[in-house]
Amino acid sequence: MQMNQIREYLSFCAAGQLVDCSTPLVMGIINVTPDSFAVRCSSCTEAGILHDASVMLQQGADILDIGGYSTRPNAPFVSEEEEWQRLRLALKTIRNAWPDVPVSVDTFRSEIARRAVSEYATNIINDVSGGQWDEQMFATVAQLGVPYVLTHTYWLTPDQQKASCEHDVVSDVLAFLQERLDQLHQAGVADVIIDPGFGLGKTVEESYCLLREMAVLQVLHAPVLAGLSRKSMFFKPLQITPKDALNATTAANVLALERGANILRVHDVKAAREAVQVVQLTYSYSL
């Protein structure tokens, strides 16, 4: 099925502005953690943050996504105050340099979300837990009036490793996202972006199944975010390191775009922007 046959016109509201993502957007990842999943942290200082954000924006990032708590396997626990101090440096630095750039904060804690929006005008809250790890998250996001990234995960806590069992992963993801979408709308959250959660408590096989069947998410009538960047679904079967997984990530991003992804969340903005352009060009020409 062609990309222009499965994508509806989709948008969300951020900072009072309508963001059109019928043309796919690129979200650049800025991890202010010393143990980033894919690469060593270069954004743990003000100079590093400025450099990384500047490069991403020059390469075509539409949104900067800032995270202060790694959810990679075996990542150490981070207190709420430590997470906030990490985020605060990045938010302050980016807001001073680029007051109007759309910023997302990657957190599962409602109080972090509240402070990020109220103190630094954060535009989007990106919650890897889908609201499961903080029961106040949905109400908080509703009060804040910002878009929310709703992510599926099998983990019940940030440090839980996946149990040894099999899942009907596509049905599980659809059911979870539909139920939580309804809860969010009932709570008063108007703008929800959905993320199937590649690799989050899922086996390599389950993640590829999700990628193959991603087009079914269109039935939920919400923008779809694909977070595939340098994940274990690539470096484990290919027997490479996360650092060497850019080519695999780009291939998967193209597949995700073909299946209706509206936002690519990536470490490598230039490659993702070019993937978006190539897919668009493929469907723009006719003979």
Q: Which residues are tagged catalytic?
A: 231, 265
Q: Are 66 and 88 in contact (CB under 8 A)?
A: no
SS3 content of the chain, % helix, strand, coil (to 5): 45, 15, 40
Counting Cβ atoms within 10 Å, is residue 36 exposed (0-12), middle (13-18) or buried (19+)? buried
CA distance 111 to 80: 9
Alpha carbons 132 and 156: distance in angstroms, whole number: 7
Contact yes or no for 103/124 (Cβ under 8 A): yes
Spatial separation of the C-alpha atoms in residues 100 and 121, rounded to whole Å: 9
* Element holding 258 (H helix, E strand): helix 246-258
